[in-house]
Chain A
Amino acid sequence: MSDPPSDDGSDAIHDDGQDVMTPAELIAKLEEAWLNEKFSPELLENRSEVVECVMEQLTHMEANLQRVKKGDAKASMHRMEIDRIRFVLSSYLRSRLQKIERFFPHILEREKSRGEGDPSLLSPEEFAFAKEYHANTETYLKAVALKRMPPNLQTVDMLKAVPEPCLDSFVFLRVKERQENILIEPETDDQREYVVDMEEGSQHLMRYRTIAPLVSSGAVQLI
């Protein structure tokens, strides 16, 4: 019987053909995306390239494990690792789906107004899900209530009916790249706005709106 996969740890993965990542870095990227998605109030840009690479790694590893006989000590370690990665991956995708279900009209609206060439928030699969969810919600509302309403009340504006993500929520974050002059807006009228510098490695509590661009650029990590 062949040895458990031994070449997987060493081969590098090409991310968009630009920077080369090791599988370990890839997993770290997935975990970052997972935590950011969990804690940000709005849907973040999709990271399908990371998801696809991780899926590829998992399938590859599982295919290799098929060839190993039962009870092999190494195989059980590999299986445990696969299960852990799979948990992060599904938790990540699930939290994105939850957000899509919660904010679908706004997400679809943003997708519509997106300029040519701008990266999409949704992966093609998520886009299909969002559209279908939208259609199903509308059909459902029509079937159970709307069609029995007086004619002038038979339409619902989803954009108004579904709450928007609250970008003013507070979030906890850790700084990965030093940032200077982050403007903190005052909470009340008698306070004044001020700026802070955020050192690398420091942790902060502040409004998501202030640091939203830094989350997408990867300069800060939500915790």
Chain B
Amino acid sequence: MDPSEVEFLAEKETVKIIPNFSLDKIYLIGGDLGPFNPGLPVDVPVWLALNLKQRQKCRIVPPEWMDVEKLEEMRELERKEDMFTPVPSPYYMELTKLLLNHASDNIPKADDIRTLVKDIWDTRIAKLRLSADSFISQQEAHAKLDNLTLMEINTIRSFLLDSLNCMYKLRSNLQPGSSKGQAMDY
């Protein structure tokens, strides 16, 4: 899967915005939004929030977890624990990137948040690599991956799945002629 597709899924998450225009309730296929009144916060999907922000029609309220203190706590916990700790949002990395790239003026301490989230991400990816390594070396057939986010799975997906397929082929001693289709991104 392409990272941009994961980002596409993340854009469905809702975020609070404070519009500076007024508009009646709008009935989208995916659900109703609004009404929009200047100064009154309203929940909208991220894709709409970013579009309105780019047209300077709203201010984005950062999600609660996008806060230096909370993220520092998370970083410490993530470093202390051997397991993956629960993340505040299943799309924390994508949302941080999207919101900071497009609305950093609405987010206090944007640079600190960027660094903290990157630290958390790095710690988690390091853990992920370690566990993938032990998964392969112990030739496990099943792994539980709670608290992993889609983006994290996606960074390791093609490499891990292809390696597992190759090893399976080597082990089951298939001839090249009868080889089965490899895992592929559709």
Segment among B27-35, B71-79, B93-101, B104-112 that sits at the interface with chain A:
B27-35
| Known interface pairs A205-B143, A207-B141; A223-B150 also in contact (CB < 8 Å) | yes
Kindly state the separation between the CA atoms of A196 and B168 in the bound complex, as whole angstroms. 22
Interface centre among B27, B141, B165, B180 (most CB of A within 10 A): B141
Kindly state the separation between the CA atoms of A187 and B9 in the bound complex, as whole angstroms. 34
Kindly state the separation between the CA atoms of A166 and B72 in the bound complex, as whole angstroms. 44
Segment among A5-13, A107-115, A131-139 that sits at the interface with chain B:
A5-13
Chain A: number of interface residues, binned into ranges: 35 or more
Q: Is the CB of B29 within 8 A of A166?
A: no
Chain B: number of interface residues, binned into ranges: 35 or more
Kindly state the separation between the CA atoms of A206 and B145 in the bound complex, as whole angstroms. 11
Q: Which residues does chain A contribute within 8 Å of B139, judged by CB atoms? A: 187-188, 191
Q: Is the CB of B29 within 8 A of A163?
A: no
Kindly state the separation between the CA atoms of A204 and B179 in the bound complex, as whole angstroms. 26
Kindly state the separation between the CA atoms of A58 and B28 in the bound complex, as whole angstroms. 11
Please list the residues of chain B having a beta carbon within 8 angstroms of any beta carbon in chain A.
Answer: 1, 5, 8-9, 11, 21, 23-24, 26-33, 47-48, 51, 135, 139-148, 150, 153, 157, 160-161, 164-165, 168, 171, 179-186
Please list the residues of chain A having a beta carbon within 8 angstroms of any beta carbon in chain B.
Answer: 4-10, 23-24, 27, 31, 37-39, 41, 57-58, 61, 73-74, 77-78, 80-82, 84-85, 87, 91, 94-96, 98-99, 102-103, 163-166, 168-172, 184-188, 191, 196, 202-207, 223
Q: A169-B183, A191-B141, A202-B146 are in contact. List 15 more A-B contacts (CB 8 A).
A: A9-B28, A31-B9, A73-B21, A78-B26, A84-B47, A94-B186, A96-B186, A165-B180, A166-B183, A168-B165, A170-B164, A171-B161, A185-B141, A186-B141, A191-B139
